Structure 1
Amino acid sequence: MAAARSEGRQRGGIEVRGDSLRVKVYAGLDPVTGKRVYLRETIKGTDDVAMKRAEKKLNELLVQVDKQRNAPSAVKLGYAIDQWLRTAELDDGTRDMYRGYVERNIRPVLGETPIKKVSARVLEELYAELRRCRVRCDGKPFVEHRTEEEHDCSEPPKNTKKRCRPHECRPLAASTVRQIHSIISGTLTAAVRWEWIDSNPARIAQRPKQKAPEPDPPSPTDAARLIDAAFELDEDWGVLVWLVMTTGIRRGEVCALKWSRVDLDEGTIEIRRSYTLRSGVGKEKDTKTHQMRRIALDTETTVLLTEYKERCRQRFAGLGMELSDDMYVFTGVRNPDPTQPYSPHAVSSRYKDMAERLGIKTHIHSLRHYSATELLTAGIDLRTVAGRLGHGGGGATTLRVYAAWVAGADRKAAEILGSRMPKRTKSG
């Protein structure tokens, strides 16, 4: 067996394997599993010609390993991620969510790994480990200590979140691993732009498949019950639920809606902003797709909004205020100040409580699904539905999410076309 040596340690060699030669070179430790990694090549034959080819391949692999180890850029993945998060155009909520994934799942494993050594294989092994167990355990039983304070594991603490418990492997959801992949891929794409690496291995790394969306809108019967309950609870609340159901606007968008964006003469509303609440601090921001859209209102919705606006005008007059265009359309029950929007969390909570009293398992976002599916079932074209929902991609997102209802609309279109075809004249 021929072998190459460096600094007293064997780095690689050639061994006979039946009627072929195998070239094997040590490439270091795997950053995910900690196991030794080898580069291998098989050369057919065992004669002198085959041996020369094997020796040439051995030198090539040694050069490849040396080039990786002595890369001009020693930037580590953790540092690169920090730089990318600092410069990437992300909203605050997304940035905070990404930082959580980085600290929990990426930095402990690959944070100290030079980005030159982050390969597609390394990423795929990380994703596989996270899909098996989120803490990447070694498969041996152990006790999870939920607090660093000195304690007796046999005595349950008052705070159940700190209770020690035997470890049970809990895989990360495929969608979460895809988010982690997006963080790493975004970082490595930036590293290519910054000339730290030549290519982005995340582009070819396999990630978990995206689960097909499963929208679950309320049935027409349940939708009618929800609307009736909303108006019985509060006329103003009923208008909010009705508007979301008939337009499909998002929770944050209805909270950010101002009277200046409601044209009752034309029967339209403009969606330009969304309202978010993080750690008790509210903030207006762009819509999810960063695009403005104008949505037409039906006659009944226009009438409801007109009556609601008049109620608001009279209510504010009683408080010595005058309704103005820069006021929010909907305000909270506990805080009816029209200069402050309805809290998105309060909207979700109130809707959930109402639905639970009716025995309906649903949430406020399902009204958006209801609006979309009713339009598609009625035969409204995909682009129009996508425009009302604010989906990007010219309907691609709408088609992916509501494929089953698009198929139903297609069947209805086929029946309509069939009924309009000229009748065949029977011969004979």
Structure 2
Amino acid sequence: MTAQDSSEERRRRGSVRRRGNSLQVRVSAGVDPVTGKDVYLTETVKGVTRAAYKQADKLMTKLLAEVDEQRATSTAVTFSHAIDEWLKNVELEDNTRDSYVGYIERTIRPTLGKVQIRKLSARALESLYSELRRCRTRCDGKPFVEKHKVLGDHDCVKSKCKPHKCSPMAASSVRQIHAIISGVLNAAVRWEWIASSPAKVAQKPKQKPPQPDPPSPADAARLVDEAFKMDDDWGTLVWLVMTTGVRRGEICALRWSRVNFEEGTIDIRRSYTLRRGIGKEKDTKTHQMRRIALDNETLVLLMEHRQRCRERLAELDIELTPDMYVFLGVRKADPTVPYSPHAVSSRYKDMAERLKIDTHLHALRHYSATELLTAGVDLRTVAGRLGHGGGGATTLRVYAAWVAASDRKAAEILGSRMPKRKPK
């Protein structure tokens, strides 16, 4: 291509226009694949001097190079539009989707929705995260009346209106917002709307190290004793959670067909969840099936529990079948309704409060894990029983202190078995 042809090509694809006391450099970046409109990259140079025109010419060369190297943004749609398209395509559990939509409508869309996706930067994301960590409403730092429940003029002092106090958003919530934004931007990259995602380089709040707080062995014994005093069925449920470490939804979804009395195992394949009062089964949290071995005492308790269920149903001329739930809900005569996950947590919490033990149902999962690790059971086996993925990486991150204690015990055992050195 000759110098003249090159010059004509530059004029066809870009231009330098005087706009008042500045110069605007504009280069064509093609057609927006979403809106069908022409897309332009623009830069502004202050002044109209000879030096300003030289700077504008250099900027045009730079913008043309970006287009040629396909590093230029190909769409001018807003981030709000990208969010809507992402929500249409992403696969999410119902409860997760509800949670994400809440974050989007309360925080993300009002803040970033009108920004063109190509103009969203890592700095803009970090500024948002910083503001949320200071105040979840992103106020300007000045006091104001938080809510007015009346229309028209009124006296805030007389009405005792509540003044606003900054309440920082938890780091975990900001990280969740970052995860949503990252998901949207990654999709935009796949759809070739943007060349790269600013969320990949934006700094988010650090994740707080897990601090599991399992009940002590003495408190665990008090809890399980109280559970059996209340109800044999309830005692069996608490015992099974304590000895297997299964999640709340997993224990509710357990069916008799998944209890193998001959091999002494249970298969965890499904989880039961409630959404807006409607229950449904879904995959486990990690979408993996796992088989958990049971001790003899647990097997005996389950056999006794099965017999109670069989007798209870027989009174209603209903036969116990393998597809029925192991733990039934409040309406125990209906074998198609499992124990509600919310009811399980609530009943356990009330029981613990009566015993003046500060704990919750999920802490029994921690109890199972820490007791096994303290006893010297290897990390991979504990991870398998808990249903942790990553070959034990999650287990190690959550229960690092107990893994260290187990390692110390292993060292003492090995040292005790070493041959004794003869004194010199």
The alignment's TM-score, normalised by the length of structure 1, stands at 0.83
1:60 equivalent in structure 2: 59
Alpha-carbon distance, 1:67 to partner = 7.7
Task: String of CA shifts for 1:50-83, please: whole Å, max 9, x gaps.
Answer: x989965994399669989x95411111111111
Give the AA of the match of 1:321: I
2:92 equivalent in structure 1: 90
2:420 equivalent in structure 1: 423
- Asked if structure 2 preserves the Cα contact closer than 8 Å seen for 1:248 and 1:389, the reply is yes
Alpha-carbon distance, 1:191 to partner = 0.5
- Asked if structure 2 preserves the Cα contact closer than 8 Å seen for 1:391 and 1:397, the reply is yes
2: distance between equivalents of 1:149 and 1:366? Answer: 48
1:221-260 matched pairs, under 5 angstroms: 221-260=218-257
2:29 equivalent in structure 1: none
Q: 1:150 to 1:332 in 2, by over 3 A?
A: farther
- Asked if structure 1 preserves the Cα contact closer than 8 Å seen for 2:267 and 2:291, the reply is yes
Q: Helix, strand or coil: the match of 1:326?
A: coil
1:144 equivalent in structure 2: 146
Give the AA of the match of 1:91: E
Alpha-carbon distance, 1:233 to partner = 0.3
| 1:117 aligns to 2:129 (yes or no) | no
1:260-279 matched pairs, under 5 angstroms: 260-279=257-276
Task: String of CA shifts for 1:349-375, please: whole Å, max 9, x gaps.
Answer: 100000000000111100000000000
- Asked if structure 1 preserves the Cα contact closer than 8 Å seen for 2:246 and 2:386, the reply is yes
1: distance between equivalents of 2:191 and 2:158? Answer: 53
Q: 1:58 to 1:148 in 2, by over 3 A?
A: farther
2:20 equivalent in structure 1: 8
2: distance between equivalents of 1:84 and 1:416? Answer: 54
Task: String of CA shifts for 1:192-245, please: whole Å, max 9, x gaps.
Answer: 110101111111111100000111100000000000000000000000000000
Q: Helix, strand or coil: the match of 1:210?
A: coil
Question: Gaps (5+ residues) in structure 2?
Answer: 1-15, 25-42
Q: 1:381 to 1:81 in 2, by over 3 A?
A: same
Alpha-carbon distance, 1:148 to partner = 7.2
| 1:220 aligns to 2:217 (yes or no) | yes
| 1:201 aligns to 2:161 (yes or no) | no
Question: Gaps (5+ residues) in structure 1?
Answer: 13-37, 41-50, 157-162
1:396-415 matched pairs, under 5 angstroms: 396-415=393-412
Task: String of CA shifts for 1:107-135, please: whole Å, max 9, x gaps.
Answer: 11110111111111111111111111111
- The total of aligned residue pairs comes to 382
Among 322, 325, 334, the residue aligned to 2:322: 325
- Asked if structure 1 preserves the Cα contact closer than 8 Å seen for 2:144 and 2:164, the reply is yes
Q: Helix, strand or coil: the match of 1:285?
A: strand
Alpha-carbon distance, 1:334 to partner = 4.4
Alpha-carbon distance, 1:394 to partner = 0.6
- Asked if structure 1 preserves the Cα contact closer than 8 Å seen for 2:324 and 2:335, the reply is yes
Q: Helix, strand or coil: the match of 1:225?
A: helix
Task: String of CA shifts for 1:148-192, please: whole Å, max 9, x gaps.
Answer: 766955577xxxxxx942111111111001000000111111101
2: distance between equivalents of 1:79 and 1:65? Answer: 27
Give the AA of the match of 1:227: V
Give the AA of the match of 1:359: K
Q: 1:8 to 1:405 in 2, by over 3 A?
A: same
1:103 equivalent in structure 2: 105
1:342 equivalent in structure 2: 339
| 1:183 aligns to 2:195 (yes or no) | no
Give the AA of the match of 1:108: P
1: distance between equivalents of 2:414 and 2:131? Answer: 52
Alpha-carbon distance, 1:260 to partner = 0.7
Task: String of CA shifts for 1:236-290, please: whole Å, max 9, x gaps.
Answer: 0000000000000000000000001111111100011001111111111100000
1: distance between equivalents of 2:402 and 2:148? Answer: 46
The alignment's TM-score, normalised by the length of structure 2, stands at 0.84
2: distance between equivalents of 1:381 and 1:165? Answer: 55
Q: 1:414 to 1:254 in 2, by over 3 A?
A: same
Give the AA of the match of 1:73: T
- Asked if structure 1 preserves the Cα contact closer than 8 Å seen for 2:23 and 2:44, the reply is no
Alpha-carbon distance, 1:91 to partner = 0.3
